[in-house]
Amino acid sequence: KAGVTQTPRYLIKTRGQQVTLSCSPISGHRSVSWYQQTPGQGLQFLFEYFSETQRNKGNFPGRFSGRQFSNSRSEMNVSTLELGDSALYLCASSLVASGDLDNEQFFGPGTRLTVL
Amino acid sequence: EDQVTQSPEALRLQEGESSSLNCSYTVSGLRGLFWYRQDPGKGPEFLFTLYSAGEEKEKERLKATLTKKESFLHITAPKPEDSATYLCAVTSGGSYIPTFGRGTSLIVHP
């Protein structure tokens, strides 16, 4: 069974630009969560989508947004990029929504975003 | 606010030298505690979920245990391929948002 795929794997942008990252979950999984991972802050939750609805949102500014399509694929958008947005952005899919038992998350390889 | 503290930050072991990693947590009603393994340049890989104090789960050389305040990941007779960063996360009844610890970087020397 194919795992979680994320595109692109690497991205370089400049301050002020915007970026869109894509995530394709494991077939049959309806929950997609996004995380930011940095050496300074570790792994931090951004938001979760389940059946095209945002269920939970972490403590990030409104520049970070996302959406989920009917086929469960998800995109994450960051507008007006700042230097501090440089990070590894990870997507994780799950069969069930957060809060449900056995909510095992399967992570993709991540997108490495560098903001210059 | 949920808090997760992992110790030690880094651990170096010789092949075959068993040890334990610690994950201490503060939550308002634990819903689940998760262990992940992360290799360099890759996303975390799910290992275990524990739900209640006294619960234990095993997978090959790894064994996870849970008390009301902390979880241990015991590594028995580790091999170099066990080298990775091990992450702990919790979800609580008050929030379904997982809170991750900073991880323990494990290096096993042959």
Q: What is the pLDDT of residues A98-110, one digit of tens each?
A: 666 567 889 999 9
Interface subset of A 30-89, CB within 8 angstroms of B? 42-45, 48, 55-56, 58
Inter-chain residue contact B49 with A107, CB threshold 8 Å: no
What are the tens digits of pLDDT across the range B43-63? 999 999 999 999 999 999 999
Question: Within 10 Å of residue B97's Cβ, how many Cβ atoms?
Answer: 22
Inter-chain residue contact B46 with A45, CB threshold 8 Å: no
- Name the pLDDT band for A85 (thresholds 50, 70, 90): very high
**Both tokens assigned to A5:** 């795929």
pLDDT of residue A101: 59
Cβ of residue A109 closer than 8 Å to a chain B Cβ: yes
Mean pLDDT for chain B overall: 94
Closest CA in chain B for residue A46: B97
Q: In this complex, which of A56, A104, A109 lies closest to B46 when CB atoms are compared?
A: A104
What are the tens digits of pLDDT across the range A13-59? 999 999 999 999 999 999 999 999 998 889 999 999 999 999 889 99
Region B66-95 average pLDDT:
93
pLDDT of residue B50: 94
Q: Where are the beta strands (DSSP E) in B28-101?
A: 30-38, 45-50, 56-59, 62-66, 70-75, 84-92, 95-100
Q: In this complex, which of B43, B95, B97 lies closest to A110 when CB atoms are compared?
A: B43
Inter-chain residue contact B32 with A106, CB threshold 8 Å: no
Tell me which residue has tokens 């059946």. A51
**Both tokens assigned to A67:** 């959406």
State percent of chain B over pLDDT 90: 84
pLDDT of residue B94: 67
Q: Considering only the C-alpha atoms of chain B, give the largest distance between any 2 of them, rounded to a whole number of Å.
A: 44
In the DSSP assignment, the letter for residue B82 is G
Inter-chain residue contact B43 with A108, CB threshold 8 Å: yes
Closest CA in chain A for residue B35: A104
C-alpha span between B15 and A3 (Å, rounded): 31
What are residue B28's phi and psi, to 5 degrees?
A: -100, 85
- Name the pLDDT band for B13 (thresholds 50, 70, 90): very high
